[in-house]
Amino acid sequence: MYLDNSATTKPCDKAIENINNVLLNNWGNPSSLHTLGMYAENEMNDSRKVIASLIGAVPQEIFFTSGATEANNISILCSAKKLKKQGKRIVTSAIEHHSVLDTVKSLEAEGFEVVYIKPDSDGNISEEALSRAITPDTVLVSLMLVNNEVGSVLPVSKAKAIMKNVCPRAILHCDAVQAVGKMPINVNSLGVDLLTASAHKLHGPKGIGFLYKNKNLHLPPLTFGGGQEKDMRPGTESVPLISGFKGAVQSIGNINANLEYLNQLHAFAVEKLSELEFVSINSPENCCPYILNISVNGFRSETLLHFLESKNIFVSSGSACAKGKGSYVLAAMGKSADIIDSALRISFCKHNKEEDILLLCDALKEAVGRLKKR
Compute the C-alpha angle 119/203/72, nearest 5°: 45
> To which H or E segment does residue 279 belong?
strand 279-281
CA distance linking residue 286 with residue 122, whole number of Å: 9
CA distance linking residue 139 with residue 213, whole number of Å: 16
CA of 86: how far to CAs of 82, 100, 109, 169, 171, in Å?
Answer: 9, 21, 18, 9, 12
Q: How far does Cα 279 stand from its chain's mean position?
A: 26
Q: Which residues touch 277 (CB under 8 Å, ≥6 apart)? A: none
Active site residues: 321
CA distance linking residue 106 with residue 69, whole number of Å: 15
**Residue 204 per-residue DSSP state:** S
CA distance linking residue 40 with residue 51, whole number of Å: 17
3-state secondary structure of 256: helix
**Residue 4 per-residue DSSP state:** B
